[in-house]
């Protein structure tokens, strides 16, 4: 089970390349190093199961989560490319894809975001992040966030499955969000839907979450 991960949220201009590279080293290359260690023996034994804690953000990017989403997209692409070869050796790969999970991980991320320096971006972007994103994100976690125990139960079901699924989303509330991308290959439907949700109907979003 690969579960190592760090988060990053905020305006792109305010994040250093060193921090981005460190995040990728944990979220993506940490997984790659683990798989390189365990896969050869699993192939020799012709049996095994690699379970990867991914994210719904590996399927759908979210505003102000550019680098974190990129790391989870990398995880998804890596596993999707590897799974067919692995199956030849009777090795299963499963991606567990949670939405928001209420842990210290999220609390720490908010604390860092609230005391961060936003002088490297323009005032409008800083306002959008601090006054729209952070406020709405807290409501999302409060309304839709799962507990770590819930994610553990989902992961256990994946591990114990007679035919392990390749992808398993833990929160049905996010299924429509992920489906938008497949409904319109041009990306217009997804882009406009999220734009309206963030910039036009944010009050409706907050009300519905509460």
pLDDT of res. 205: 63
The full set of domain ranges for the chain reads 12-209
For the ranges 84-88, 134-138, 203-207, the lowest mean pLDDT is seen at 203-207
| CATH hierarchy code of domain 12-209 | 3.40.50.720
CA distance 169 to 172: 7
What is the per-residue DSSP string for the chain? -B-------S-GGGS-HHHHHHHHIIIIIHHHHHHHHHHHHHHHHT-EEEEEE--GGGTS--TT-HHHHHHHHHHHHHHHHHHHHHHHTTEEEEEEE---B-SHHHHHHHHHHHT---TTS-HHHHHIIIIIIHHHHHHHHHHHPBPHHHHHHHHHHHHH-SS--SEEES-GGGHHHHHHHHH-TTSHHHHHHHHHHHHTSHHHHHHHH-
Compute φ and ψ for 52, nearest 5 degrees: -115, 125
Active site positions, annotated:
68
**203 confidence band (pLDDT: 50, 70, 90):** low
* pLDDT tens, residue by residue, 101-142: 888 777 777 777 778 888 999 999 999 998 888 888 877 777
pTM for the structure as a whole: 0.89
């Amino acid at each position: 089970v690969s579960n190592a991960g760090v988060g990053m949220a905020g305006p792109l201009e305010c994040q250093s390349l060193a921090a981005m590279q460190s995040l990728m080293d944990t979220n993506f290359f940490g997984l790659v190093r683990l798989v390189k260690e365990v896969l050869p023996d699993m192939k020799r034994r012709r049996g095994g199961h690699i379970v990867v804690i991914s994210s719904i953000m590996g399927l759908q990017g979210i505003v102000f989560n550019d680098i974190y989403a990129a790391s989870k997209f990398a995880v998804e692409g890596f596993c999707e490319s590897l799974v067919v070869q692995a199956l030849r050796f009777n090795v299963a790969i499963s991606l567990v894809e949670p939405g928001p999970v209420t842990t210290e991980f999220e609390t720490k991320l908010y604390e860092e975001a609230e005391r961060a320096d936003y002088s490297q971006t323009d005032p409008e972007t800083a306002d959008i992040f601090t006054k729209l994103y952070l406020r709405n994100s807290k409501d999302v976690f409060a309304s839709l966030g799962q507990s770590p125990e819930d994610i553990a139960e989902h992961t256990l079901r994946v591990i114990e499955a007679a035919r392990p699924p390749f992808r398993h989303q833990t929160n049905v509330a996010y299924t429509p969000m992920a489906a938008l991308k497949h409904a319109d290959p041009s990306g217009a439907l997804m882009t406009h839907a999220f734009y309206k949700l963030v910039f036009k109907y944010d009050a409706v979003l907050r009300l519905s979450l509460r």
